[in-house]
Each structure stands twice: as structure tokens, then as C-alpha cells.
């Protein structure tokens, strides 16, 4: 077992995760899923907009994005204007246009001012039959429209680290098949068993899987950031600092006081040292 306080160099030698490369801006995202109606979403967006000064005063910049339901995108555009908070959607269709009743294209999202689009969330895989192939197609559509795909990936059951790494990497590799080299992506590592749970996944587990995801992004040549999601909230990033670029929040961001604490915690974390160049 790798002690939590092992130096990063020693930890890398042992095959454990090292710190991410310096220079990537930390990032915090929130998906509202279907928790709020339109009026409640507007109230919440106004509360997020009120974090503008707190965001500007952070000791280092942190990207913040929020993903409300489709009908609230226009409200996000209006309420978040001038705050520095970006927004996007929780899903996208792979086709640019055509006979696809009920679907929303990446181009239309870009026109609506979206910057990020979530693809492949576990709930979409489970309830709406999303597969690695559809997630890859959606990732490609997002990239072509100039959006940043937030690729969700994670193992379904807590059956140990080896299986977690294998299942997660297989989802990430498949999704990246839709994104060319040099694309900008975010991978949200979300172990399914830690979503909607009482506690986030243990830090050592997250560190190991996200380290493997980071290596996969590097091999693929994309500009990627890796965040953790699954009952994440205040206190989570502190335990993971050095292994992820930020967090992807659900329920615990409904109270924006929590969101503010998370932003402060992420901004205050030690800036990681650069990794040595690959041979």
C-alpha cells in the first residue's frame, strides 16, 4: 500500500499517481440533473452569480461551469453574464441536424452560449441506453462545435482498484475515439457506486484511477483535465489535491455556500510541480 504522504517521485516509481502537470487551470463543475424546476433553477443561478466577487478574489483562477436543464440555458446566459461563470448542458445529440425528434445539437448549444457539454453520465448509460459508441459520437459532435465535452466515466461496482481502472479506461478510450488529438476535454471520474451516496470514494482509490486516466489522456494527445465526482463537496478536494484538477459536483452544490467553500479550497491547494518530460 502506498502511504498518503509518500513523495510524489517515490509514489510514481511505485506506480502510484503523481501530481498533474502545472499550468492547467483548476476547474469546478456542477450538474443540476433534474433536481430543480425552472423557478428554483433561476434562484440557484442568481445565487451562483452572486459568487462573482468571491470568484474574482480567489488566490488563483478557478474555472467554474454549471449545467442546468435545457430550458434554463437562456436564464444561465442572462443571469451569469459578466460573472465569469460558464454554462452548458447535461447531454447533446451527435447529429448536427435532421429528423431527430426531441434532440438538441451541439451547434444549437453553442449558439445558446454553452461552453461545456456533459456526455456519458452513468444515469444516461443506465436509464437511456447510452453506450460507448453513442458517447464517442456525442464527444465528437461537441468538439466539432467548439464545446468542451465533460466525459463521465467510472466503474459500476466497488470491486477493487484493478477493475475500476480497467472499466474506467475502457470508457475513456472509447469516448476519446470521437475526439481528435489536441481537442480540449474534461474527464469526470465518477465511480457509479459513489454517486448519490453518503460519502465520496476513498482518496487512494480516486488517486489511482485518475492517474491512469491522466496517462490515457496524455497518450491520446488531447488537452485534458481530470475531475472527480460522486458525493463531492467541501473537504473532498483537499484529500485529492495533487491528483485531480477539480471536482464535478451534484447535490452538495445545491447550497451555494458549499460551492463557495469548494472554490476556495480548490484555489488554495498547492500548485503542483511540473512532471518530468516523457522520454
**Closer CB to ligand 13P, residue 11 or residue 28?**
28
Q: What is the DSSP string of the chain?
A: ---TTS-HHHHHHTT---PPPTTPPPEEEEE-TT-S-HHHHHHHHHHHHTTHHHHHTSSS--EEEEE--GGGHHHHHHHHTTTT-EEEES--BSSSSSS-TT--BHHHHHHTT--EEEE--HHHHHHH---HHHHHHHHHHHHHTT-EEEEEE--SS---HHHHHHHHHHHHHHHHTTS-TT-EEEEEE--GGGTTSSSPPPHHHHHHHHHHHHHHHHHHT-EEEEEEESS--TTHHHHHBTTBSEEEESGGGSSHHHHHHHHHHHHHSPPPPPPPPP-
Dist CA 269 CA 279 (whole Å): 29
Q: In the bound complex, what is the minimum distance in angstroms from residue 254's beta carbon to ligand 13P?
A: 9
Instruction: Tell me the residue nearest to ligand 13P as measured from the CB.
Output: 250
Whether 250 and 31 have beta carbons less than 8 Å apart is answered as yes
**Closer CB to ligand 13P, residue 200 or residue 272?**
200
> Which residues of this chain interact with ligand 13P, rule CB under 6 A?
31, 121, 190, 195-196, 229-232, 248-252
Q: In the bound complex, what is the minimum distance in angstroms from residue 34's beta carbon to ligand 13P?
A: 12
Burial of 110 (0-12, 13-18, 19+ CB in 10 A): middle
**Closer CB to ligand 13P, residue 62 or residue 249?**
249
**Closer CB to ligand 13P, residue 90 or residue 183?**
90
Q: Which of 118, 167, 190, 265 is catalytic?
A: 190
**Closer CB to ligand 13P, residue 224 or residue 230?**
230
Q: In the bound complex, what is the minimum distance in angstroms from residue 194's beta carbon to ligand 13P?
A: 7
Q: In the bound complex, what is the minimum distance in angstroms from residue 93's beta carbon to ligand 13P?
A: 19
**Closer CB to ligand 13P, residue 68 or residue 272?**
68
Q: Note if 190 is an active site residue.
A: yes
Residue 25: CB atoms within 10 A of its CB come to 11
Q: Which of 93, 118, 121, 265 is catalytic?
A: 121
Q: Note if 264 is an active site residue.
A: no
Q: In the bound complex, what is the minimum distance in angstroms from residue 249's beta carbon to ligand 13P?
A: 6
Q: In the bound complex, what is the minimum distance in angstroms from residue 33's beta carbon to ligand 13P?
A: 7
Query: Active-site residues: which are they?
Result: 121, 190
Amino acid at each position: 500500500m502506498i502511504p498518503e504522504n509518500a513523495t510524489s517521485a517515490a509514489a510514481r516509481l511505485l506506480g502510484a499517481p503523481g501530481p498533474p502537470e502545472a499550468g492547467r487551470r483548476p476547474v469546478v463543475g456542477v450538474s443540476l440533473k433534474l433536481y430543480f424546476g425552472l423557478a428554483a433553477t433561476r434562484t440557484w443561478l442568481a445565487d451562483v452569480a452572486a459568487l462573482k466577487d468571491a470568484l474574482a478574489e480567489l488566490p488563483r483562477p478557478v474555472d467554474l461551469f454549471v449545467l442546468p436543464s435545457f430550458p434554463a440555458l437562456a436564464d444561465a446566459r442572462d443571469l451569469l453574464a459578466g460573472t465569469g461563470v460558464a454554462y452548458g448542458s447535461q447531454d447533446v445529440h451527435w447529429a448536427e441536424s435532421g429528423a431527430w425528434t426531441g434532440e438538441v445539437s451541439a451547434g444549437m448549444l453553442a449558439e445558446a452560449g454553452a461552453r461545456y457539454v456533459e456526455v456519458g453520465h452513468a444515469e444516461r448509460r443506465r436509464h437511456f441506453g447510452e453506450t460507448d459508441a453513442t458517447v464517442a459520437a456525442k464527444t465528437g459532435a461537441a468538439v466539432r462545435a467548439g464545446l468542451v465535452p465533460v466525459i463521465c466515466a467510472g466503474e459500476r461496482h466497488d470491486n477493487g482498484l484493478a477493475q475500476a481502472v480497467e472499466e474506467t479506461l475502457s470508457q475513456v478510450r472509447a469516448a476519446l475515439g470521437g475526439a481528435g488529438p489536441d481537442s480540449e476535454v474534461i474527464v469526470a471520474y465518477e465511480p457509479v457506486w459513489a454517486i448519490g451516496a453518503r460519502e465520496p470514494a476513498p482518496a487512494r482509490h480516486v488517486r489511482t484511477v485518475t492517474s491512469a486516466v491522466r496517462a490515457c489522456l496524455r497518450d491520446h494527445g488531447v488537452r485534458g483535465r481530470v475531475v472527480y465526482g460522486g458525493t463531492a463537496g467541501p473537504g473532498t478536494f483537499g484529500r485529492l489535491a495533487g491528483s485531480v484538477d477539480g471536482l464535478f459536483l451534484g447535490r452538495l452544490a445545491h447550497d451555494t455556500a458549499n460551492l463557495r467553500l469548494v472554490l476556495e479550497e480548490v484555489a488554495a491547494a498547492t500548485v503542483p510541480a511540473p512532471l518530468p518530460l516523457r522520454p
